[in-house]
Amino acid sequence: MAPKLELHFVLIPLMAPGHLLPMVDMARLLARRHVKVTIVTTPLNAARVRANIDRDIQLGSPIQLQLIRFPNAGSGIPEGHESVDTLPSMDLQENFFKALCLLQNPLEELFEKLNPTPDCIISDRHILPAADIARKFQVPRIIFDGANCFFLLCNHCLHDSKVHENVSDSEPFIIPGLPDRVEFKKYQLPGAFNPNATNQGLNVAREMVRESEGEALGVVVNTFQELEAEYVEKYKKVSGKKVWCIGPVSLSNENKLDKAQRCKRNDSNDEEEDLYYMKWLDSWPARSVIYVCLGSLNRVTPEQLMELGLGLEATKRPFIWVIRGAYKREETEKLLLEDGLEERVKGRGVLIRGWAPQVLILSHTAIGAFITHCGWNSTLEGISSGVPLITFPLFAEQFYNEKVIVQVVQTGVTVGRERVVHLGEEEKFDAIQVNGEKVKEAVEKVMGEDEEGKKIRERARQYAEKAKKAVEKGGSSYLDMSLLIEDITQHVKGLKMKEEEAEPQYGPN
């Protein structure tokens, strides 16, 4: 019997929490399936995820971190900033894309030194140098897409039909070719179809990313078949690409320590704070607390944050609200202080300034609803926890994800946000899109005792069960990861056979 082929996968995540964390989760899952995995990132990004990886290594997992220097000098990004969420200004987005392109040489030099030779690259779709490296070293490249198949199919259908080009910004239209009748307005679409008017360089970058995707072997998606089966199958058909659905990858964090240390914060009281939040949640009945977090790139205006806070206060329900660093932090803190909101809700409401252990918090039985910006990680983490979602989309593909929640799986309701506000364009639009009364109404819809709320909560519970089964042995996502590994195994065997056939044969004439 031939010895089992040992595979080596190299994973290159984008330097942003919403992209880094799921790729690290995926890396840990691959390593548990006896694949050697090398995660390539920069020092400050590695620090965020090192705790869980080091613990895996101590337990014998074939996983490692390899560091490359972030090209601050060449890109014009100040030293100490290596991630989208730490950029001192959103005017530096184009510089960040330039930095990604400057990773070509460092990645090539690292690739040449890796032992054993890599058999596959899985890179974030925005890491353009990965395409050149895959070509140079004749290694298959797979794209990791941080969104879902609904997003991929919507984008494909819009590129194909260009229906959005014939409507005004606020005119409703139907995206053709979807399994469901889904209506959008142009100003709710992501930047590829609703460009940032003040930064044309980003539009060029998006097109470069799209063109590079054509060479990839396929795409790995953090979703599961039971969540959006029709969209998975339709996208496979129209794209002609391999699609492996391996999520929810956040469920790879099985114990409290994994959940708490999934992303390290920069303060020294992480464990004490986590313990405080958990004890506070322990003091409330099951499904009674509202959890609020609008993501790592939250750029909501201070005025809008205040309306959100006033809506939470008006619910009379307990809540835990992550405001992180807050856009215009000083103005936000001034408004909070002048209004006295934090003092009025003391005991019933907890405000977290900084990073929060979201997966740990969502897994607590006290959480009864999640007000989310609809980033796909947060959306899937909420679904996996069986928590009804209240949608507060901000930008990028988040209005797509709102449709998944409210229309496709029907495990949540919208607060009524109307339009995308691109990063860096916050001053161009009204400071407040959603008032506190709408927040209160949305909370009552999912947490109240009427029939609609009960049905939403029951569907949320059912999808959580489906998510857990998907990643268990024999589940749809478990099998798709097996298929991914097998596909690369067969690819490597095919290459070795070609090499053997090409070798000169010596023997008698």
Angle subtended by helix axes 329-339 and 302-315, to nearest 10: 40
Average of pLDDT values for 196-202?
Answer: 70
* Domain boundaries defined on the chain: 8-79+92-246+475-502, 269-469
pLDDT, position 185: 96
Q: Is the pLDDT of residue 290 over 90?
A: yes
Q: Give the whole-angstrom CA distance, residue 261 versus residue 253.
A: 9
SS3 352: strand
- pLDDT beyond 60 at 508: no
> What mean pLDDT do residues 262-271 have?
62
Identify the pLDDT of residue 204: 85
Q: What is the pLDDT of residue 267?
A: 45
Please report, for the chain, how many H helices and E strands are present, in that order.
20, 15
Quick one: pLDDT at residue 325?
74
Question: Euclidean distance between the first and final Cα of the chain, in Å?
Answer: 33
What pLDDT is stored for residue 230 in this prediction? Answer: 98
| CATH architecture for segment(s) 269-469 | 3-Layer(aba) Sandwich (3.40)
Helix axes 17-32, 376-384, angle to 10 degrees: 50
Is the pLDDT at 2 greater than 50? The verdict is no
- Average pLDDT value for residue range 184-205: 85
Distance CA 136, CA 343 (A): 60
pTM for the structure as a whole: 0.94
> Within 10 Å of residue 179's Cβ, how many Cβ atoms?
14
pLDDT band at 1 (very low <50, low <70, confident <90, very high): very low
Residue 344 has pLDDT above 80, yes or no: yes
Q: Tell me yes or no: is domain 8-79+92-246+475-502 CATH 3.40.50.2000.
A: yes
Per-residue model confidence as pLDDT tens digits over 448-507: 999 999 999 999 999 999 999 999 999 999 999 999 999 999 988 887 777 777 666 555
Element (DSSP H or E) covering residue 216 = none
Q: Is 269 left (phi over 0), alpha (psi -120 to 50) or beta?
A: alpha
Q: By C-alpha distance, which of 339, 364, 341, 338 is closest to 351? A: 341
| DSSP run (H or E) holding 14 | none
Asked, colleague to colleague, whether 8-79+92-246+475-502 and 269-469 share their fold, the answer is yes
C-beta separation of 412 from 392 below 8 A: no
CB-CB neighbours of 499 under 10 Å? 9
Q: Which of 1-5, 23-27, 495-499 has the lowest mean pLDDT?
A: 1-5
In the chain, what percentage of residues exceed pLDDT 90? 81
Tell me the pLDDT tens digit for each residue of 356-380. Answer: 999 999 999 999 999 999 999 999 9
Residues 6+ apart with CB under 8 A from 15: 41, 42, 45, 70, 82, 83, 84
Q: Which helix (H) or strand (E) holds 240?
A: none
Closest among 283, 384, 369, 375 to 324, alpha carbons compared: 375
* 379-398 per-position pLDDT tens digit: 999 999 999 999 999 999 99
Under a CB-based contact definition with an 8 Å cutoff, are residues 411 and 165 in contact? no
Residues, the chain: 509
The pLDDT tens digits of the residues spanning 385-443 come to 999 999 999 999 999 999 999 999 999 999 999 999 988 888 888 789 999 999 999 99
- CA-nearest of 4, 34, 8, 24 to 115 is 8
Pairing of strands 367-372, 389-391: parallel
Predicted confidence (pLDDT) at residue 27 exceeds the cutoff of 80: yes
Check residue 504 and give its pLDDT.
Answer: 62
Q: How many CB atoms lie within 10 A of CB 88?
A: 10
H-helix or E-strand containing 238? helix 225-239
pLDDT surpassing 50 at residue 509: no
